Amino acid sequence: MPTNGAPTRITQGSHTRGGIGESTLRPDGTLKVTGEFAYASDMWHEDMLWGQILRSTVAHAEIVSIDTSEALATPGVYAVLTYDDLPTEVRHYGLEIQDTPVLAHGRVRHHGEPVAVVAADHPETARRAAARIRVEYRDLPVITDEASATAPAAVLLHENRTDPHAAHVRHPNIVHRQPIIRGDVERARRRADVIVEGEYVFGMQDQAFLGPESGLAVPAEDGGVDLYIATQWLHADLRQIAPVLGLPEDKIRMTLSGVGGAFGGREDLSMQIHACLLALRTGKPVKMVYNRFESFFGHVHRHPAKLYYEHGATHDGKLTHVKARIVLDGGAYASSSPAVVGNAASLGVGPYVIDDVDIEAVALYTNNPPCGAMRGFGAVQACFAYEAQMDKLAARLGMDPVEFRRLNAMSQGSLLPTGQVVDSPAPVAELLRRVKAMPLPPEQQWLVAGEEADVRQLPGGLSNTTHGEGVVRGIGYAVGIKNVGFSEGFDDYSTARVRLEAAGGEPVATVHTAMAEVGQGGVTVHAQIARTELGVAQVTILPADTRVGSAGSTSASRQTYVTGGAVRNACELVREQILERGRRRFGAHHPAWATAELLLEGGKVVTDGGEVLADLVDVLGDEAVEIEQEWRHRPTEPFDLRTGQGFGHVQYSFAAHRAVVEVDTELGLVKVIELACAQDVGKALNPLSVTGQIQGGTTQGLGVAVMEEIIVDPRTAKVRNPSFTDYLIPTILDTPTIPVDVLELADDHAPYGLRGVGEAPTLSSTPAVLAAIRNATGLELNRTPVRPEHLTGG
């Protein structure tokens, strides 16, 4: 049994079919399987032009000159814009720090930075014209790591910084620094019977969403613009776009078009401003679609990191202290680096109880590609390192790695190194127990008919590299902790508009939010919530746009919590108005209107005893009830800049993995046989979606364990593999079975007790695979992804 109480059942307010807790099917499913669902790249408009960006071919250089004359003279070209053509004095944008030029000004700071934009009547015309823009660069020395970034004479990526972090960093090429200090590490170290140290490297991962960055900007008669775009947060885009265009926000009407995955990579702007600028300049609709090559330059990546860890433990297996330094490479522009630093630092201990902690996390400005949000956001890199440390400690102590972790696992009531008390279930030990208890896959599944080898089930797969020779099995475990929602005092809210009306003799609910549906299934859940809360069968989900208030970002595992919470809250307010109206209209006929607890169920107003008082359509009459309301989770506070103390996170999410791998130890090829996961989700609003999220997150963790890495040339800071030929993501033959054990321990602070789901499985998947490979090979492996040459000494 978990120490934190048994799995909790949430009593639902309704038994209406398709409410929360049921695996209802996606409302957009039919459109998506028929090809009718309109993704951003599918948008089309009569007479539209095509936009094309010219990007820098070098990572760091002064721009000596730009000559656009030949491009402008190309037949079919309608506009060529550079920095000098920007319409207002606001020429930079950024999620937190406005340090990113809309178009490069005098200098480029990373490979692939936008320098000019072209609009033409055909994509090929636009490409040819862009190729005719002459840019003269004068190379500057490239800054690619901590040493070159913080050298006393280092060129500054951004001079005269005025952002909130500039004051507390020791060098202007450090974006942000967050220490977490608790207890006394020096003293605790003396209590340690064993001490292990490690230096770990985490490679640069790409979100590799399949739907490329795309948008359509349509100029409007009122001087404004309508923008159809794939993004994670419409209102944050709007806040950054409007000042650059010099338009009031209400003149920029944004509509979410179909989003082909996001995973953090659409949190920053891509071509939003460029498309609008070209549309406003030409007076014509402008469509922009990145190809895969450009996509690798068109969005931020996961921060690569170097992590230095020291842990101590006593002979009986209790952790004494942790000292860590986490260096994240933020690349040329800040993006969300400050928040990634906060996460890496505050979650750098992992889901363990350690009283004495000294952690420092920093993010650098370099000439490498800008890095920012990706699923797991700072917690991923730390988990890779601390979980490797846990295995090393267990080995040194001669303990079972799972038992060692369970012995030190945090639980409800534990104190985090930030001073925050964990005030909801934290079943870390139970999750580990569950993944360990799952049955193991049979050995040598690749043997068919007892003799022949099915190479598809062996390392190397169809490439026919082994028929069993050199293949060794390994098993590894890992567990992680991720925060849910925006932290550190951010005003994290969402807005929902809910309308209830009678239509065709039926009560119909309409839910309107600006939540970006990126594939996660938020639209499914919103309908379920409306059904549960309003007791109706018919729910319409309106397209997300900026005609309703902000829903915040589809990131940080937060949308079901926050926008789901906003929808529930708005539904409750609608219900109150309905009941109020019912009391006014029918209260005189039945005393229960005044005395009983009333519910909406099955299209009727009923008492908690089940007595029907009225049909909803009769209460509604001809008059709809509509509420738009913001909803926010309980506030958090910033971490102290010196000690890292503070109530920084609103909720935590936990997952544990067991990886079973088979390694061809001679060729260094890995086949992951199974990746079992146990996760606490608080309450599974839609169990089918929940397991889909866990399996998807697990697979992204697998990818960065064995194949995914953007390779940047350390001499030039140029990206060497911007394609799906050389940036590899797992195929269906690389992905194992992923059994999932879902635990539901309610968090009483959250709507329905739910816990954010999407990110936690991405954390522990990678270190579990690494642990399994170490188990199979006996190698130390301090870097991810593992490449074949790392396993063969090459």
Q: Are 720 and 296 in contact (CB under 8 A)?
A: no
* Distance, CA of 373 to chain centre: 6
When the beta carbons of 389 and 513 are compared against another protein, the nearer one is: 513
When the beta carbons of 119 and 650 are compared against another protein, the nearer one is: 119
When the beta carbons of 135 and 539 are compared against another protein, the nearer one is: 539
When the beta carbons of 651 and 698 are compared against another protein, the nearer one is: 698
Stretch that binds another protein, among 358-366, 615-623, 660-668, 741-749 (CB under 8 A): 660-668
Site for another protein in 531-590 (CB under 8 A): 531, 537-543
Cβ-count burial 556-570 (b if 16+ within 10 Å, e if not)? bbbbbbbbbbbbbbb
Pairing of strands 538-541, 77-81: unpaired
Site for another protein in 493-512 (CB under 8 A): 508, 510
Q: What is the C-alpha separation between 113 and 83, in angstroms, rounded? A: 12
Q: What is the C-alpha separation between 346 and 555, in angstroms, rounded? A: 18
Position among 16, 68, 282, 466 found at the interface with another protein (CB under 8 A): 466
Would you state the structure tokens that stand for residue 744, as one six-digit string? 């539901």
Report if residue 688 touches another protein, rule: CB under 8 A: yes
CB of 525 to another protein, least distance (A): 10
Report if residue 137 touches another protein, rule: CB under 8 A: no
Stretch that binds another protein, among 85-93, 255-263, 343-351, 471-479 (CB under 8 A): 255-263
Q: How many CB atoms lie within 10 A of CB 715?
A: 9
When the beta carbons of 155 and 472 are compared against another protein, the nearer one is: 472
Q: Are 682 and 514 in contact (CB under 8 A)?
A: no
Site for another protein in 699-728 (CB under 8 A): 699-700, 706-707, 711, 720-721, 723-726, 728
When the beta carbons of 240 and 700 are compared against another protein, the nearer one is: 700
Report if residue 474 touches another protein, rule: CB under 8 A: no
Position among 34, 160, 162, 595 found at the interface with another protein (CB under 8 A): 34
Site for another protein in 729-758 (CB under 8 A): 729-735, 737-738
Q: What is the C-alpha separation between 597 and 35, in angstroms, rounded? A: 46
Q: x/- string (CB under 8 A) for another protein, residues 39-58?
A: x-xxxx--------------
CB of 512 to another protein, least distance (A): 11
When the beta carbons of 30 and 314 are compared against another protein, the nearer one is: 30
CB of 86 to another protein, least distance (A): 26
CA within 13 Å, CB half, 572: 11
Q: What is the C-alpha separation between 35 and 727, in angstroms, rounded? A: 27
Position among 16, 381, 560, 698 found at the interface with another protein (CB under 8 A): 698
Site for another protein in 75-134 (CB under 8 A): 122, 124, 127, 131
Position among 454, 576, 611, 780 found at the interface with another protein (CB under 8 A): 454
CB of 294 to another protein, least distance (A): 9
Type and span of the H or E element at 767: helix 760-777
Type and span of the H or E element at 190: helix 185-191
CB of 544 to another protein, least distance (A): 9
Report if residue 789 touches another protein, rule: CB under 8 A: yes
If you search the block for the tokens 């109706």, which residue do you land on? Answer: 536
Q: Return the biggest CA–CA distance within the chain.
A: 86
Q: Which of 401, 439, 350, 370 is nearest to 207 (CA)?
A: 370
Stretch that binds another protein, among 77-85, 483-491, 520-528, 572-580 (CB under 8 A): 520-528
Work out the burial of residue 153: count CB atoms within 10 Å of its CB; fewer than 13 is exposed, 13-18 middle, 19 or more buried.
exposed
Position among 148, 592, 692, 741 found at the interface with another protein (CB under 8 A): 692
Q: Are 701 and 679 in contact (CB under 8 A)?
A: no
CA within 13 Å, CB half, 84: 7
Report if residue 783 touches another protein, rule: CB under 8 A: no
Q: Which one-letter DSSP state was computed for residue 258?
A: B
Site for another protein in 432-451 (CB under 8 A): 451
If you search the block for the tokens 């929902």, which residue do you land on? Answer: 496
Q: Which of 104, 100, 61 is nearest to 81 (CA)?
A: 104
When the beta carbons of 107 and 547 are compared against another protein, the nearer one is: 547
When the beta carbons of 262 and 373 are compared against another protein, the nearer one is: 262
Report if residue 32 touches another protein, rule: CB under 8 A: yes
Type of residue at 672: V
DSSP 3-20: TT-PPPPPPPS---TT-T
When the beta carbons of 3 and 735 are compared against another protein, the nearer one is: 735
Look at residue 31 and give its three-state secondary structure. helix
Report if residue 30 touches another protein, rule: CB under 8 A: yes
Position among 7, 172, 261, 489 found at the interface with another protein (CB under 8 A): 261
Stretch that binds another protein, among 167-175, 332-340, 587-595, 781-789 (CB under 8 A): 781-789
Look at residue 696 and give its three-state secondary structure. helix
Q: Where do the H-state alpha helices sit in 211-330?
A: 234-245, 272-282, 292-298
Binding-site residue total for another protein (CB under 8 A)? 119
Report if residue 135 touches another protein, rule: CB under 8 A: no
When the beta carbons of 19 and 753 are compared against another protein, the nearer one is: 19
When the beta carbons of 455 and 641 are compared against another protein, the nearer one is: 455
Q: Which one-letter DSSP state was computed for residue 517?
A: -
509 CB-near residues (< 8 Å, 6+ apart) = 498, 499, 500, 530, 531, 534, 536, 538, 539, 540, 571
When the beta carbons of 525 and 598 are compared against another protein, the nearer one is: 525
Q: How many CB atoms lie within 10 A of CB 7?
A: 15
When the beta carbons of 215 and 350 are compared against another protein, the nearer one is: 215
Site for another protein in 269-308 (CB under 8 A): 289, 291-293
Strand partners, 501: 508
CB of 504 to another protein, least distance (A): 11
Report if residue 33 touches another protein, rule: CB under 8 A: yes
Phi, psi dihedrals of residue 609, rounded to the nearest 5° = -85, -5
542 CB-near residues (< 8 Å, 6+ apart) = 510, 511, 512
Report if residue 258 touches another protein, rule: CB under 8 A: yes
Stretch that binds another protein, among 54-62, 145-153, 557-565, 689-697 (CB under 8 A): 689-697
When the beta carbons of 178 and 765 are compared against another protein, the nearer one is: 765
Stretch that binds another protein, among 136-144, 338-346, 418-426, 452-460 (CB under 8 A): 452-460
CB of 231 to another protein, least distance (A): 13
Site for another protein in 406-425 (CB under 8 A): none
- Kindly report the three-state secondary structure assignment for every residue of 156-182: CCCCCCCCCCHHHCCCCCEEEEEEEEE
When the beta carbons of 506 and 640 are compared against another protein, the nearer one is: 506
End-to-end CA distance of the chain: 47
Site for another protein in 196-225 (CB under 8 A): 207-212
When the beta carbons of 238 and 729 are compared against another protein, the nearer one is: 729
Q: How many CB atoms lie within 10 A of CB 87?
A: 14
Position among 370, 521, 648, 751 found at the interface with another protein (CB under 8 A): 521
Position among 5, 31, 69, 151 found at the interface with another protein (CB under 8 A): 31
Position among 459, 522, 564, 644 found at the interface with another protein (CB under 8 A): 459
If you search the block for the tokens 């309301």, which residue do you land on? Answer: 629
DSSP 51-73: EEEEE-SSSSEEEEEEE-HHHHT
* Distance, CA of 455 to chain centre: 35
